[in-house]
Structure 1
């Protein structure tokens, strides 16, 4: 996809365009910003712009070179992701070896490291040795949505390109032909400005999981003392902290919708319209103060899980406090 076809991220793209047009390329770029907002897509388009013969400096997105870059089969493009949760040290060693070989057919040999924040110390230090004195024909693009996990020395040697959340209309425009019409508005609401997040919840398994979660939330009652534990058991089935955090973000949407219904009883403010009857009914069980408190407690739980708090204890504490207020 050519630069001109990318929806959103105009500022980031303009910085890259200017660097190409003025021949002032950095050898290491760090693309930072939320998940699912176009960092990887922009990195691929950047490589196309560097190599396209049909629309030099911009990329046409249609020629054989652009298509091979999009398919990650271009000889001078190396796209890497962590093998498992973390990058393996051998992956970085392979990069170091390849970096000192001249480009095969173009002027630049480009290495894209997606989820670069998932480098352990050994791998990060090995990568740093290349970035400190990169061969003149190499260009590195590091993509990270948690740049605080990167070595400060890696950050300091990179030109940072910042990506922001997309607008409601931009997400709508991007996904409107990718999801069913009956889910479109809800998925845009769920996106939080991230196309990746919208498409994630649009997947059948995740959509079903969302429905199950909200059903458990409707069953939280003081006269059902085991209901919080049922909800916790449902969450920990995921066995993955990030997936559990995704579900807890839906819980935040739930409290938000209950609170706004409580305050306005106006459907236009409700994000999860497919659960409107349940939201209207459940909102009557809580006070405004309760719902604001539940929102804050859920935020605290998400923060705690990200900081390696005991998962089971965190979830049980959260939903026991909610259940006892029903």
Structure 2
């Protein structure tokens, strides 16, 4: 994956290209943006551009060096990610120790810290010590989609490179030959500009979970209270708040599609086209006003779960109100 192969993120790539050509690379970069939009790929492409002998400053993406970097097996590249939910302090200590050793092959040792926002205070402070006075032969690339969790002092020591959501067409171009054709349009819609999300929902277990969720949603009725509790139990089985939030984002798609079918009766506005029949039928049970309310209530539930609200209470409140039509 060389710079020229990255789809989207033109501004981020051009900033890095210019820094390489003008020999003005920062020693610490912070790649910030949504999940699944190319931050890791760009970091790897930067390392290729710095080490490739075939296309210096750009990276050919095909030579032995570029292949080793792509496979994270290049001796001067250290890719680090949290062990579990959080980074362990020992990971940071090992990084600091390695940083003071000279490069094995090239001119720079590069340390990529993926999900750097998952550093606890102890690990973040340990990292800060080396970022304050980094060895000349080091380059640090921190990747984060929740930079607000990073220490302000780490942010101030970094050059921030912003990444944005991809367009519908860009996501389509990236995934069209990597997913089943009959899922392609739905997955691009589900991506919301993130290739990572598209691939997440293409996973067979997640795709099956999606189908099951929509079947539960078709069973919600104003005069039957068992359906909301069945749906809550189904969601709570995940026991992972981030996965539950992903499923609730599908619920937002559901309300949106019901709303637009109710409003227009035109299938071209439907994102979940494999459920068009169910959407057309179910939209008749709700008013425009109710669908707007359900969309807002689901957004509120997502925010509540992200802010550590009681999970079961939040889900029960949401779907009881939906089931009762209020």
Q: TM-score range by the shorter chain?
A: over 0.9
Find the counterpart in structure 1 of residue 265 from structure 2: 265
Q: Deviations over 1:103-144 (max 9, x none)?
A: 111100000000000001100010001101111111000000
Instruction: Give the CA deviation at 1:190.
Output: 0.5
What does residue 97 of structure 2 align with? 97
Aligned ranges 1:49-198 → 2 under 5 Å: 49-198=49-198
- Kindly indicate whether residue 247 of structure 2 is the aligned counterpart of residue 247 of structure 1: yes
The number of residue pairs the alignment matches comes to 326
Q: CA deviation at 1:316?
A: 0.6
**Unaligned ranges ≥5, structure 2:** none
Alignment RMSD (CA, Å): 0.7
| Counterpart-to-counterpart distance in 2, 1:237 and 1:86 | 23
The reply on whether 1:24 has 2:32 as its aligned counterpart is: no
Shift of 1:34: 0.4
Residue 300 of structure 1: aligned partner: 300
d(CA) in 2 for partners of 1:142, 1:32? 8
Q: Distance in 2 between matches of 1:304 and 1:325?
A: 21
TM-score norm. by structure 1 comes to 0.99
3-state DSSP of counterpart to 1:284: helix
Q: C-alpha deviations, 1:82-112, integer Å up to 9, x for none? A: 0000000000000010011111111000000
- 1:223 is displaced (CA, Å) by 2.3
Q: Structure 1: which 5+ runs fail to align?
A: none
Q: Deviations over 1:200-236 (max 9, x none)?
A: 1011111110000000011111222111110010001
2:4 corresponds in structure 1 to 4
CA separation in 2, counterparts of 1:232 and 1:164?
33
Q: Could you give the per-residue CA deviations for residues 251-276 of structure 1, whole angstroms, max 9, x where no partner exists?
A: 00000000000100000000011101
1:312 maps to 312
CA distance in 2, matches of 1:295, 1:223: 20
Give the 3-state SS of the residue equivalent to 1:53 in structure 2.
coil
The runs of 4+ residues in structure 1 deviating greater than 6 Å are none
CA distance in 2 between partners of 1:25 and 1:55 (Å): 18
Is the aligned partner of 1:229 residue 2:229? yes
Distance (Å, rounded) in 2 between the aligned partners of 1:225 and 1:248: 19
Q: Distance in 2 between matches of 1:249 and 1:45?
A: 32
| Distance of 1:219 and 1:274 partners within structure 2 | 17
The whole-number CA distance in structure 1 between the counterparts of 2:306 and 2:21 is 41
Separation in 2 of the partners of 1:164 and 1:80?
Answer: 23
CA distance in 2: counterparts of 1:205 and 1:82, whole angstroms: 24
Tell me the secondary structure at the aligned position of residue 139 of structure 1.
strand
**Cα distance in 2, alignment partners of residues 139 and 231 from structure 1:** 48
